[in-house]
Amino acid sequence: MREDRFKYFSVKILHSELLLEFVLLEDFVRFLQTHRISTIFKLLNETNEVSHFAVSYKGGLMRQDSEGFENIEDYLVSRRENFPTSESFYISKKLGYKNYQEYKIALESGIENIEDFILMKSKGFIEGYAEWNKNKSFEPVFANPFELLRFALENNFENYTELKSGFEKGFKNGGIFRIATAKGFSNFADYAEAEKFGVQSFNELNKIRSNNIRDINDYHNYLDLELIKTEDTTHDQRVLQIILSKLPDGRKVSINKLIEYYTKELENYIYPDTGEMPKWFTLGFDGKESIVKFLTFNNAVKKYGHYDNDGEYFETKVIQSRTVIIDGSNVAFNSISKKEAKAKIENVILVVNELKKRGFTAITVIADASLRYRIEDKDRLQELKKLVNFIEAPAENQADIFILQLVKKNIVC
């Protein structure tokens, strides 16, 4: 802030028998300070602008060109803040810059208003600019900090620190960088690999790597079998459970037929290019006898039916004794008309009523948390809740994923 040290008097013409003129404004100011002179004349030109500063000293007159400054205090501030000329000082002052360095950066960057400069400074791009250009691994190189700021904003980075960190980890987009970081990813390579598998966190990617899962189809097969994991069953035993769950209602299936189904189902897990089973796939069966033992004594099998050792067949339970789970979001959006875009509870009620006609009584509907905001016939939601056990998936879970989690934990089945 400027401190007024001098008293000024404006004059048009100065006459003196002794007139001394300083060469430099700096010397004039030093003279004032040395002799503790505080009264100064401002010599005005025809347009009332200050052309010279002058003081009376021992009968003589000391004069100095103003060099464009309106007063000595402005000159002192200008010198302290390293402004090369009075013109740059007053332009900078008018625009709101605090010192010549800021004004110079704004000028070189082509910034037209102080708000852009404040944004650039507050986001760390002035300090970060030199660092960015020195780092040979960062591209592109920029001509000034404002170009760097615009580049960052265009690519959704919020500040220089985030931009630097994102680029060091291989991310070219700030939005993706923030999402990936929140999910535990430390670099873009891991995030891209996870995207390939359709997984949502670094922990899931670690699971893929530790189990030597090689592609997305392999991962889906792994997940399907993990969801029905019970009593430390091996993967081939879970494959047999899947077969049992798909058998017709109330049927007797011979052990040989079951083994045939099982052998064929195993082919879905074999890599077509190598003919090998996945490294993660664990085996518990070593022949017909071990399969019969599993069907006879494993508790997880009992919910599908029972094995008759004498008749050597597996008899499935009546399907009505099982719980029916409906993905309410999918059914709500399902319509005969392909042009229909809005979700309707009516669609779910129709399915529920049809199931009840066929003898199903234990029906659970699970829907996305957002469904209630998207349905067209909101008034019918209470009607549905009276007909079935209605569960809303947590906000962070999709209904289909939540259904699988509940089935895995035997919560609704």
Concatenated DSSP letters of 144-180 = SHHHHHHHHHHTT--SHHHHHHHHHTT-S-HHHHHHH
Residue 411 has pLDDT above 50, yes or no: no
pLDDT tens-digit readout, 311-337: 899 998 865 455 788 888 888 887 655
Q: Report the candidate in 216, 73, 186 with the shortest Cα–Cα distance to residue 86.
A: 73
Q: How far apart are CA 181 and CA 412, in angstroms?
A: 34
Contacts of 36 (CB under 8 A, 6+ apart): none
Q: Report the candidate in 73, 89, 66, 71 with the shortest Cα–Cα distance to residue 3.
A: 73
Token duo for residue 376: 């067209």
Token duo for residue 44: 């005005």
Burial grade of 166 (CB within 10 A; 0-12, 13-18, 19 or more)? buried
Q: How far apart are CA 177 and CA 163, in angstroms?
A: 9
Residue 396 pLDDT level (bands cut at 50, 70, 90): low
Contacts of 223 (CB under 8 A, 6+ apart): none
Residue 1 pLDDT level (bands cut at 50, 70, 90): very low
| pTM assigned to the model | 0.59
The mean per-residue pLDDT over the stretch 269-284 comes to 93
Q: What pLDDT sits at residue 19?
A: 80
Q: Report the candidate in 67, 61, 31, 32 with the shortest Cα–Cα distance to residue 49.
A: 67
Q: How far apart are CA 392 and CA 372, in angstroms?
A: 9
Q: How far apart are CA 390 and CA 232, in angstroms?
A: 31
CA dihedral 332, 337, 341, 346 (to 10 degrees): -30
Q: How far apart are CA 407 and CA 399, in angstroms?
A: 12
Higher pLDDT, 145 or 226: 145
Residue 31, Ramachandran bin (φ over 0: left; ψ between -120 and 50: alpha; else beta): alpha
Q: Which residue has the tokens 């402005």?
A: 74
CA gyration radius for the chain? 41
Q: Work out the percent of the chain whose per-residue pLDDT is above 90.
A: 42
Residue 163 has pLDDT above 90, yes or no: yes
Q: How far apart are CA 366 and CA 353, in angstroms?
A: 16
Residue 407 has pLDDT above 80, yes or no: no
Q: What pLDDT sits at residue 275?
A: 92
The mean per-residue pLDDT over the stretch 173-190 comes to 93
Q: How far apart are CA 268 and CA 307, in angstroms?
A: 25
Q: Report the candidate in 333, 329, 412 with the shortest Cα–Cα distance to residue 371.
A: 329
Phi first, then psi: give them for residue 324, nearest 5 degrees: -100, 130
